[in-house]
């Protein structure tokens, strides 16, 4: 199989950028008008934080998710390639219309990949597990492609890797 690459959805991030910019403008108008000045600063400041994040996503030309015969790379995770041989199963979970593909792996494999994370990201993993997620998940929010198509493609790669491993044994 050839590599399968998924990129950020420019349209989704442009929409989020427009929403953030609108709320920054509303916050600025609240401050300028003298009414609800504190709320204006809070609104404008909070949504201003999203602007550089959304701009970065819009202009990021690198693939967000790469599937290959060797494994899967999610550029947002920061843990490198996850080998198919370490993945025992996949599942889809959603929170507030944000889809995730949970990678079912044993403890040793989880630790192998999670050891590459910063202490802050490791704390987030603990929170994910407390919410019922697997320790390693692929966040599909803002990605160009349907969750079911990505999931089905991952299953094909996983089945091929399992078949190749059985043939090698």
Q: What is the pLDDT along the chain (169 residues), one digit of tens a residue?
A: 689 999 998 998 999 999 999 999 999 999 999 888 999 999 999 999 999 999 998 998 899 999 999 999 998 888 889 999 999 999 999 988 889 999 999 989 888 998 888 888 888 888 888 888 899 999 998 899 999 999 999 999 999 888 876 666 5
CA-based nearest residue to 111, from 99, 93, 129: 129
CA distance 30 to 150: 43
Kind and range of the H or E run holding 66: strand 65-67
- The confidence score (pLDDT) of residue 96 equals 87
């Amino acid at each position: 199989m050839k590599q399968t690459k998924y990129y950020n959805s420019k349209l989704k991030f442009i929409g989020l950028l427009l929403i953030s910019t609108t709320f920054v403008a509303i916050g600025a108008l609240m401050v300028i008008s003298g009414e609800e000045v504190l709320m204006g600063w809070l609104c404008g400041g909070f949504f201003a934080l999203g602007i550089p994040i959304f701009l970065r996503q819009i202009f990021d030309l690198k693939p967000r998710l790469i599937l290959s015969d060797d494994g899967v790379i999610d550029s947002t995770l920061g843990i490198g390639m996850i080998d198919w041989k370490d993945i025992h199963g996949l599942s889809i979970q959603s929170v507030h219309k944000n889809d995730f593909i949970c990678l079912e792996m044993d403890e040793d494999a989880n630790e192998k990949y999670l050891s590459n994370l910063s202490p802050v990201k490791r704390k987030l993993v603990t929170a994910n597990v407390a919410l019922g997620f697997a320790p390693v998940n692929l966040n599909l929010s803002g990605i160009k492609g349907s969750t079911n198509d990505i999931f089905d493609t991952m299953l094909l790669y996983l089945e091929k890797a399992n078949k190749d491993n059985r043939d090698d044994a």
